[in-house]
Structure 1
Amino acid sequence: MLTRRDLLRALAATSAGTLAANTFASLRAADTQTWQRGAVATVQPLATKAGVNALRQGGNAVDAAIAAAVTLGVVDQHNSGLGGGCFILIRQANGKLLAIDGRETAPAKASRDMYVRDGKAVPALSQTGPLAVATPGALAAYALALNKAGKLKLAEVVQPAADLAAKGFALDRNYARKLKSTADKLAQFPGSKGALLKADGTAYEEGETLKQPDLARTYQQIAKHGIDWFYRGEFAAMVEAWMKANGGILTAADFAAYQPIVREPLQTTYRDYRIIGFPPPSSGGVHVAQMLNMLEQFELADLNKQGRGALEHLLAEVMKLAFADRAYWLGDPDFANVPRGLIDKAYARELAAKIDLNKASEVKSYGRPPRATENIFAKPPADAPIIDKHTTHIAAADAEGNWVAITATVNTTFGSKIIVPGTGLVLNNEMDDFSISPGQPNAFGLIGAEANAVQPGKRPLSSMSPTIVLRDNQPFLTVGAAGGPTIITQVLQVLVRVLDLHQPLSEAVAAPRVHHQWRPDELRVEQSLPAATVAALQDRGHKIDATAGIGVCQAVSFDPATKAFTGVHDPRVPGSAEGL
């Protein structure tokens, strides 16, 4: 039986940190546990423990997920934190659904061409430094979620994280690797260098202790004074002063104006299941639904039995079609029209009819969904049952019936690379998720159009895809992922493997993944995908890009027969799933 220590040794021993398929298989048998009162899964054991402690203190799954999220802002700052944003999807014990949009917003002084110099877009400006930072939304969203659906107070989930920041923690392999890879950029900013690097500017190594006294103070002030200290007090003033001195445009007024938005969750059906996704500015909810609608036209279990890459090929084809639509149609629905027809079943049948199961097809452009002028958030017509009235993911559920999926981010590794001196908080570079110029790829290679252009107060398009699945109107699965645009395709593949192939959740999360995002026209595959499958995909005409790993996924499921929860963390990185 493979122990966690064996897993870490295997990760260290394999090139590029990838695991062979048989290693994943061994881990599945060793790493699956069940609990009766609830479960939490995250990428970091200390964050998972914080979530479980919240349950132990009388909190519910909402408290647990948010306790884990704020702790990740200490122990996993390269991925997420209070300097970034989030989407929170909740199914409460009473059956009510809640979608809280904590996505960052463009500063009031932002403009459409702010990254254009001499007629050309300069991507570096939107990825590193002061102009890359959008107004953080995570903290406001967490506070709102606790107020609407939690049991604990904000201070009760923030103070333990403050204590951990002050005490320090031993860096895991992933944090140490990310710190080393970005040390040069972090060192450009005195606040970042002082908070995250050694005195000589070098990175801490795996196992060394990182203490963050400034971050501890920030958390302590939030615990003591609430979110006003952050959005309308000292923190906002400190950020504004630094921005003015360093060429930034983010102001205290931007912080004061920020509000999380309660949105209508996106509900669609897939075979016998109801899929609850996040609406725009998430592109994930729309396109997971769109791809499932296309896949509904095929017998996926039969294709999987055929082997020879038959299922992977189909997945690649539906991904291309969906991402072509994403590039043109998706944006902040408060600023751009996002057509309801994207998740229309008839439109999906039309797209599916274009797929050749024997060869890769060229998708030249976006599709034209029906009712293209009808915004996805307009009141649904009576005959439209489809809709009812470097990032991290936290999955949590409890025996009362509360289910939570939180995906949070600062965008790329350590966001903008900026920590304002004295705050300890990594600020996002979420402005790069806008289309800084039509047709200009962002850091993830994604292309956008006018719908996702920069505008003051606008939320950039996101791939974050927190998802909850209901069967017989009862929740039994929550899943989400990290990894830029691969978030969408990771969630899709876990759903397919659980709902169509009936694989155990741990097997579904660990299975080799593929990813296609239309542009560039290449199919990314994990190196653990069998060579025969890769060869079959090449024979069908796919241009293959083999990579060590595609994203990181977390999930929790419930078995009504045994009344037990199963939590699964992605074996591609250290993490944990625990419960009570």
Structure 2
Amino acid sequence: MLLYPRLVFSFFLVLSVNFPIIAQGGRIPVRAENAMVSSSHYLASEAGRDIMARGGSAVDASVTTAFVLAVTLPSAGNIGGGGFLVYQSANGESTTFNFREKAPLAATKTMYLDEEGKIKDNSNHEGILAVGVPGTVAGLYKAHQKYGKLKWADLVQPAIEIAEKGFPISPEIEGFSTWLLQNKEVYPSTARIFLKDEQTALRSGDTLVQQDLAETLKRIRDKGSDGFYKGKTAGLLTDFMKAEGGIITREDLRNYEAQELDPIKGSYRGYEIISMPPPSSGGTVLIEMLNILEGFDLSKKGHNSAESLHLLTEAMRRAYADRALFLGDPDFNEAMPLEKLTSKEYAADLRQSIEPHRASVSDSANFSEAHLIYESPQTTHFSIVDPEGNAVSLTYTLEQSYGSKIVVEGAGFLLNNEMGDFNPIPGHTDTRGLIGTEPNQIEPEKRMLSSMSPTIVAKEGRPVMIIGSPGGRTIINTVLQVIVNVIDYNLNIAEAIESPRIHHQWLPDVTRFEDWGFSPDTKRIYQEMGHEIELRSVQGQAMGIYIDKESGMIFGAADSRSYDGKAAGY
């Protein structure tokens, strides 16, 4: 885990001189008449918005936004990681793109274990063996081939220009650079990019230029996905792997393909829920929780009241237990009971087991023997709607903050450490959070299970809300609460995102509360029901858009829990 200190988030409004319809997160949403991008960095939001102003589609804007984030948000934006894209058109067509990373061909179920069957030196999270085969470039290219309107090269160019000219860094990058100065011998290729010089860390406001990354992006601009998976970039990556003891080969890169998948769908109080199927667990778990909650009148119980929080917790508890037991890569798990898990009938059965004023117990004897494995909160999400009303919800990640923290020498991009999302010890479960259930054990070319939950909420086939968040295992619950805040409590998209959040994941049997925003009485009553509380500073960085059906006005919100998040529209 990255060891630099957490810095304080800003909660003030920022107005741009050049583009007045841009604001940092707050309780007042940004308004626009035509199109909107909400992302974790203002430069990415502006670039995506400008692409749509030039006639680009929501998918075009997502390509540009994602590549700019790969430059400006190195902790999570990436070309060395992977993720998921959910698309919903204005006429009701929906689909998803799966570009989750894969295990290399040389990977084995026990590759991280020593002779005693224990994990060696946290090697599934740290070091070159923790890297999965990247999927981001393949996924963006595949989506563009189907739904893009502008030329691919024009969509990548804004990221190249920012990488070459540089941009002023945030306090978050300063924190990483300060940490890196103390660890430069371990990460020499990364130090050459993210230190000012051998003895000096970058400071907030310094300009970060990334010329090697710009050259890599130029090859992607000129040759599409082949510019990453073949040719010079592939050679730089595989040569670096070989030199450092990694196992990703040119064959791994040639074999990688993104997938177009049918979305997983549900409904909630007359709204349609369109989300990501496995290997993301997000859509399945989200719909299961919403189905359970649909049987309760949450609006009468009050927003974030102890009784409402109790019901949310009980829905979370049950759905996360099913996540651990059943979900994994569908190419390696044919028997996942997705239809059952997302059915109204199954939710009704689960609802009957919820007592109105008493907490259940997360008992492995009743729910299975699985515990949830650690997932880092360092991911990023953006939401987009274009002038035609088409929508994209995209979440992608490197896993931990800055992924493996390893930059490919000469290529300028950070590598993920996603192999840590697999179950590392087959058949072994313990109270520290390790699980060993078969659906998510390591196999060559298998995709690791994820909690990423890019989601679109529609009404009569037309998108009305686009939402998602980073946050590891908390992602699904963050998305759940934003949706409930809008539909049940009639909050605007900014208020829904800014509201304090909770998280329960079945095991450990504790509810995490953001340590602000909940009254002492609410926490006391909640605890008297039998719940245990653990306080955390923040949960997630949701990026959302709401489209008013009657007026057509678009409202965007970037979570103020993000350093540089912005909603940009026109």
Provide the TM-score with structure 1 as the length reference. 0.89
Aligned pair 1:491/2:479, yes or no?
Answer: yes
Compare 54-63 and 490-499 and name the one that shifted more: 54-63
Deviations 1:362-395 (A, max 9, x none): 12138789xxxxxxxxxxxxxxxxxxxx111110
1:378 aligns with: none
1:73 aligns with: 70
Superposition deviation, residue 147 in structure 1: 1.1
Superposition deviation, residue 38 in structure 1: 0.5
Aligned pair 1:541/2:525, yes or no?
Answer: no
Aligned pair 1:518/2:506, yes or no?
Answer: yes
| Shift in CA distance, 44/20, structure 1 to aligned 2, threshold 3 Å | closer
2:8 aligns with: 17
**Which amino acid in the other structure matches residue 549 of structure 2?**
P
Query: 380, 397, 401: which one pairs with 1:409?
Result: 397
Query: 550, 575, 579: which one pairs with 2:569?
Result: 579
3-state SS of the aligned residue for 2:106? Answer: coil
Query: 38, 44, 47: which one pairs with 2:44?
Result: 47
Q: Say if 1:327 and 1:446, in contact at 8 Å, map to a contact too.
A: no
Distance (Å, rounded) in 1 between the aligned partners of 2:551 and 2:434: 43
Deviations 1:336-383 (A, max 9, x none): 1321211121111111111122122112138789xxxxxxxxxxxxxx
Superposition deviation, residue 272 in structure 1: 0.6
Q: Say if 1:328 and 1:449, in contact at 8 Å, map to a contact too.
A: yes
Superposition deviation, residue 555 in structure 1: 0.5
Distance (Å, rounded) in 1 between the aligned partners of 2:285 and 2:365: 13
3-state SS of the aligned residue for 1:17? Answer: coil
Paired residues, what number? 540
Distance (Å, rounded) in 2 between the aligned partners of 1:146 and 1:162: 18
Distance (Å, rounded) in 1 between the aligned partners of 2:10 and 2:212: 37
| Shift in CA distance, 483/202, structure 1 to aligned 2, threshold 3 Å | farther
Compare 236-245 and 290-299 and name the one that shifted more: 236-245
Map 1:289-438 → 2, pairs under 5 A: 289-304=287-302, 308-336=305-333, 337-340=335-338, 341-365=340-364, 390-438=378-426
3-state SS of the aligned residue for 2:213? Answer: helix
Compare 183-192 and 295-304 and name the one that shifted more: 183-192
Q: Structure 1: which 5+ runs fail to align? A: 1-14, 370-389
Map 1:142-541 → 2, pairs under 5 A: 142-181=140-179, 184-185=182-183, 187-200=185-198, 202-304=200-302, 308-336=305-333, 337-340=335-338, 341-365=340-364, 390-438=378-426, 445=433, 447=435, 449-528=437-516, 529-541=518-530
| Shift in CA distance, 448/321, structure 1 to aligned 2, threshold 3 Å | farther
3-state SS of the aligned residue for 1:469? Answer: strand
Q: Say if 1:108 and 1:456, in contact at 8 Å, map to a contact too.
A: yes
3-state SS of the aligned residue for 2:468? Answer: strand
Aligned pair 1:102/2:102, yes or no?
Answer: no
Deviations 1:385-436 (A, max 9, x none): xxxxx11111000221210001011111110111111111001011011111
Distance (Å, rounded) in 2 between the aligned partners of 1:423 and 1:515: 38
Superposition deviation, residue 94 in structure 1: 3.8
| Shift in CA distance, 182/452, structure 1 to aligned 2, threshold 3 Å | farther
Query: 538, 548, 552: which one pairs with 1:559?
Result: 548
3-state SS of the aligned residue for 2:556? Answer: strand
Compare 222-231 and 461-470 and name the one that shifted more: 222-231
| Shift in CA distance, 441/82, structure 1 to aligned 2, threshold 3 Å | farther
Aligned pair 1:87/2:84, yes or no?
Answer: yes
3-state SS of the aligned residue for 1:393? Answer: strand
Distance (Å, rounded) in 1 between the aligned partners of 2:141 and 2:69: 16
**Which amino acid in the other structure matches residue 452 of structure 2?**
M
Distance (Å, rounded) in 2 between the aligned partners of 1:500 and 1:482: 23
3-state SS of the aligned residue for 1:454? Answer: coil
| Shift in CA distance, 170/304, structure 1 to aligned 2, threshold 3 Å | same
Supply the RMSD in Å over aligned alpha carbons: 2.3
Compare 534-543 and 327-336 and name the one that shifted more: 534-543
Distance (Å, rounded) in 1 between the aligned partners of 2:442 and 2:509: 26
Distance (Å, rounded) in 1 between the aligned partners of 2:291 and 2:341: 10
Q: Say if 2:39 and 2:543, in contact at 8 Å, map to a contact too.
A: yes
Q: Say if 2:384 and 2:545, in contact at 8 Å, map to a contact too.
A: yes
Identity of aligned residues (%): 39
Distance (Å, rounded) in 1 between the aligned partners of 2:173 and 2:567: 18
**Which amino acid in the other structure matches residue 439 of structure 2?**
A
Q: Say if 1:62 and 1:146, in contact at 8 Å, map to a contact too.
A: yes
Superposition deviation, residue 472 in structure 1: 2.2
Q: Say if 1:283 and 1:326, in contact at 8 Å, map to a contact too.
A: yes
Deviations 1:68-110 (A, max 9, x none): 1110000001112000001011112443212010111100000
**Which amino acid in the other structure matches residue 533 of structure 1?**
T
Q: Say if 2:130 and 2:404, in contact at 8 Å, map to a contact too.
A: yes
3-state SS of the aligned residue for 2:254? Answer: helix
Q: Say if 1:328 and 1:448, in contact at 8 Å, map to a contact too.
A: no
Distance (Å, rounded) in 2 between the aligned partners of 1:18 and 1:265: 34
Q: Structure 2: which 5+ runs fail to align? A: 1-5, 13-22, 369-377
Provide the TM-score with structure 2 as the length reference. 0.90
